[in-house]
Amino acid sequence: MAIALERRLANFRTTRGGDAATHAAETADRTRRVAAGAERLAAEVDGELVRTATGCFVRVEGRGGVIPVDRERLAGLPGQPPPGVTLVCLDTETTGLATAAGTLAFLVGLGWWEGARFRQLQLLLPDHADEPAFLDELRRHIPTAAWLVTYNGRGFDWPLLVARYRMAGAGPPVHAGHLDLLPVVRRLFRHRMPDARLQTAETQLLGLRRFGDIEGWEIPARYLQFLRDGEPARLLDIVRHNDEDVRSLARLLAHVEQGLGDASARRDAPSGDLAGLARAFAMERRFEEALACLDVAVAARDSRPVPAVPLRRAEPRLVREEADHWWSPRRRPDFGGRIGRPTADAAWRHAEDDRLDGAWTPARLHADRARLLRRLGRHAEAEVAWLELADAGGTLGALAWIEIAKLREHRRRDPEAALAATLAALRLVERRRFVARAEVRLERDLAARAARLRRRIARRGSTSAAAPGAGLSRNPASPSDSPATGVRVA
């Protein structure tokens, strides 16, 4: 028995030693293949293979170019970085569209300004095991006082990199701020773009068009195939794609600065761009600057409605709603929205046709201008602006009359004039009911407002009658009959 056990133990030790040797040989072979693949990759993309104690990565110097940006003018726009900080443009190429642990950023493009010259650099990851070296090099190029400039980076690029750093046992690079250009483009230019993709912004805003560019959905599969066979040629298109993306970030920033950076440049800007800029100023409570933008937009020659951009096929619901006739049960009403939402906000949204991101019509411009005048406390001017808008009739006119009623009741303390404005709005809504475009909730709200104002006028009348000298007070005539109310019924 003891001899049999010794023989089995000897066989086990021999087998174990053989397995260890085989594993070591396979590991060494794989290391050689990865190193050879990394060298071929560096040669294919005209880069440099950098070896460190934690791994290796490929460094590619971009061609860059002269892209001047006046940082002082840029800093005057809402949400932009201070003039003295370094701006680092960043764009990633990844193995998927998620930001969880299974997604890897294998290419990071960086760009920064040295005077008017824009310099570019790309970092490529040859293999998963080299990620620590890759992340250490990326950290070195993000100064702590710098601002990042990305396109959808707040929602995707940066959260993904944060996850990779945490999985590597380190914190992400510290930086002073983050400018995501996707919300900027949507706020300023969505009225003349079919979508907000970076390539669409290049075409619509910069007049550039890419030829032979790789589609985004192809990028993950190409990199995974490179990891399997080590053939680097298929990554060359990805490197070019990323290089153009980073340069487009700089071009977009320069376009915003040069087109909207100061008052003289804004005189030539489209009215829709100025209206979007006014809303951005208003979000920062810079109401005077917002009003100045709207004044220019209203006075501009191109304040005429621009045809809305055709909707993409990927939005069949919106296309169907636009094509349906007014009597179709599938057509959304002009007033309403989901149950529980504020009725006035929903009414304005539908009345301005904002759900299709259409053109900035003169009515929308005047409505935003009237709101700003009210927020600035210039109530008399705001009432004049609302009266001009009320002449449009329809739902928009009714909503304008409601705003007039609010100003007359709460600012002028004149409930009779407020009731007259409410009744004018109610008449417009009733007319829409006669043509089968009933707005039940708005009509009910106006009826309740009118009843409340009548009760308030009655209480004030009874109080005046009971007071000494009440017979000498002016006779509170019906607001619908009195010419002193100043009401213009549309």
Kindly state whether residues 246 and 314 are assigned to the same domain.
no
Q: Which helix (H) or strand (E) holds 155?
A: none
**Rounded Cα gap, residues 115 and 158, in angstroms:** 26
Give the model's pLDDT for residue 357: 43
Kindly state whether residues 323 and 401 are assigned to the same domain.
yes
Contact status, residue 212 vs residue 112, Cβ threshold 8 Å: no
Please tell me what DSSP assigns to residue 177. Answer: E
**Rounded Cα gap, residues 183 and 152, in angstroms:** 8
Question: Residue 317 corresponds to which tokens in the numbers above?
Answer: 């619901």
**Rounded Cα gap, residues 483 and 463, in angstroms:** 24
Long-range contacts of 81-84 (CB under 8 A, 24+ apart): 81/147, 81/177, 81/179
Q: How many CA atoms lie within 13 A of 319 on its CB side?
A: 9
| Nearest residue to 67 via CA among 246, 187, 211 | 246
Using CA atoms, how far residue 480 sits from 40, 86, 142, 410, in Å, is 86, 63, 68, 19
CATH number of the domain at 132, please.
3.30.420.10
Within 8 A by CB and 6+ apart from 437, the residues are 326, 333, 334
Q: Where does a domain end: 242, 261, 280?
A: 261
**Within a domain: 439:** yes
Please tell me what DSSP assigns to residue 67. Answer: -
Give the model's pLDDT for residue 360: 81
Give the model's pLDDT for residue 19: 59
Kindly state whether residues 202 and 145 are assigned to the same domain.
yes
Using a 10 angstrom Cβ sphere, with 0-12 exposed, 13-18 middle and 19 or more buried, the burial of residue 347 is buried
Kindly state whether residues 240 and 146 are assigned to the same domain.
yes
Number of domains present in the structure of the chain: 2
**Rounded Cα gap, residues 274 and 279, in angstroms:** 9
| Nearest residue to 173 via CA among 211, 201, 200, 146 | 146
Kindly state whether residues 94 and 240 are assigned to the same domain.
yes
pTM for the model: 0.78
Write the DSSP assignment of 6-53 as a string of letters.
HHHHHHHHHHHHHHHHHHHHHHHHHHHHHHHHHHHHHHHTT-EEEEET
Give the model's pLDDT for residue 163: 93
Q: 176 lies in which domain range?
A: 30-261
Q: Per-residue confidence of the chain (490 residues) as pLDDT tens digits?
A: 666 667 677 776 666 655 555 555 555 555 666 677 789 999 999 999 999 999 999 999 988 789 999 999 999 999 999 999 999 999 999 998 877 778 999 999 999 999 899 999 999 999 999 999 999 999 999 999 999 999 999 999 999 999 999 999 989 999 999 999 999 999 999 888 888 999 999 999 999 999 889 998 899 999 999 998 888 998 999 999 999 999 999 999 999 999 999 888 898 899 999 999 999 999 999 999 999 999 999 987 544 444 444 444 333 333 333 344 444 444 444 433 344 444 455 555 555 544 334 578 888 899 999 999 999 999 999 999 999 989 888 888 899 999 999 999 999 999 999 999 999 999 998 888 877 777 888 889 999 999 999 999 999 877 766 665 544 443 433 444 433 344 443 3
Kindly state whether residues 246 and 321 are assigned to the same domain.
no
**Within a domain: 10:** no
Kindly state whether residues 235 and 361 are assigned to the same domain.
no
Burial 262-299 (b: 16+ CB within 10 A, else e): eeeebeebbbbbbbbbbbbbbeeebbebbbbbbebbbe
Contact status, residue 407 vs residue 473, Cβ threshold 8 Å: no
**Within a domain: 279:** no
| Nearest residue to 164 via CA among 229, 86, 107 | 107
DSSP H helices, 168-286, are 181-189, 198-201, 219-229, 236-260, 263-266, 271-283
Question: Residue 346 corresponds to which tokens in the numbers above?
Answer: 């929903």
Contact status, residue 135 vs residue 123, Cβ threshold 8 Å: no
Kindly state whether residues 317 and 431 are assigned to the same domain.
yes
Question: Residue 74 corresponds to which tokens in the numbers above?
Answer: 């840029």
Other C-beta atoms within 10 Å of 100: how many?
A: 9
Kindly state whether residues 309 and 251 are assigned to the same domain.
no
- Strand ranges in 116-239 using DSSP code E only, listed in sequence order: 117-124, 147-150, 177-180
Residue type, 32: R
Kindly state whether residues 118 and 247 are assigned to the same domain.
yes
**Within a domain: 271:** no
Q: Where does a domain end: 209, 239, 261?
A: 261
Give the model's pLDDT for residue 75: 95
**Rounded Cα gap, residues 352 and 358, in angstroms:** 9
Q: Where does a domain end: 246, 261, 276?
A: 261
The most distant pair of C-alpha atoms in the chain lies apart, rounded to whole Å, by 130
Other C-beta atoms within 10 Å of 219: how many?
A: 21
Entry field: residues in the chain: 490
Kindly state whether residues 235 and 135 are assigned to the same domain.
yes
**Rounded Cα gap, residues 326 and 343, in angstroms:** 21
**Within a domain: 101:** yes
Using CA atoms, how far residue 179 sits from 79, 250, 260, in Å, is 8, 12, 17
Kindly state whether residues 168 and 96 are assigned to the same domain.
yes
**Within a domain: 91:** yes
Contact status, residue 69 vs residue 253, Cβ threshold 8 Å: yes
